[in-house]
Chains A and B, each alone.
Chain A
Amino acid sequence: GENVEQHPSTLSVQEGDSAVIKCTYSDSASNYFPWYKQELGKRPQLIIDIRSNVGEKKDQRIAVTLNKTAKHFSLHITETQPEDSAVYFCAALIGGFKTIFGAGTRLFVKA
């Protein structure tokens, strides 16, 4: 079935430390994996994405890795700042058409 699993559900880190969020997906045909950040009461915003023909992508303090064989992908945030505190969702494009989201990770960055 169509499923995206995400861990952990909650993550608390000290400012300056790194944060890692992991996801797995079930549809081996999925070829696009976005990550969204959602602040309280606001709409999700795309922060980074990766396509299946790439193993890693980096944008300043944010990086995403993809292991297509294992159907795993991860978000890495380095040098975390308090403003990184939010809910992060991984997602996978299923059937080239609809986007299914993971359960979300609530990230707390303590100053």
Chain B
Amino acid sequence: GAVVSQHPSWVICKSGTSVKIECRSLDFQATTMFWYRQFPKQSLMLMATSNEGSKATYEQGVEKDKFLINHASLTLSTLTVTSAHPEDSSFYICSAREGAGANVLTFGAGSRLTVL
């Protein structure tokens, strides 16, 4: 089945620094990937849709300059949290669909970000 790899699994950084999270589709091509954010004991909130070769589509209330998304190839999307602050600490998880007509989302393992 489809496999999505996400790195790093956890990261601790100082306030004001930037952190990059990678999401790769290992055995399929993904023209679209989805980035979610999950606070402790809460739901998965869609942040943005990453589109290969074009700009990402951000959900309402998500700062595009804060959360930079790049989808440079059919198997890699990156999320960069810029000038991170403690309130950005969260679980970030990417997902993708295998095939243009597929509905099932396959998730990466997630990245736990802690900003000190």
Contact = CB atoms under 8 A, between A and B. Distances in A.
Interface in A78-111: 89, 93, 97-104, 106
Interface residues of B, number: 18
A98 B108 CA distance: 16
A49 B49 contact: no
Contacts, number: 44
A44 B94 CA distance: 11
Query: A interface, by DSSP: helix, strand, loop or mixed?
Result: strand
Interface residues of A, number: 20
B5 to A, nearest CB: 11
Interface of B: 34, 36, 41-46, 49, 93, 95, 103-105, 107-110
Interface of A: 32, 34, 42-46, 49, 51, 89, 93, 97-104, 106
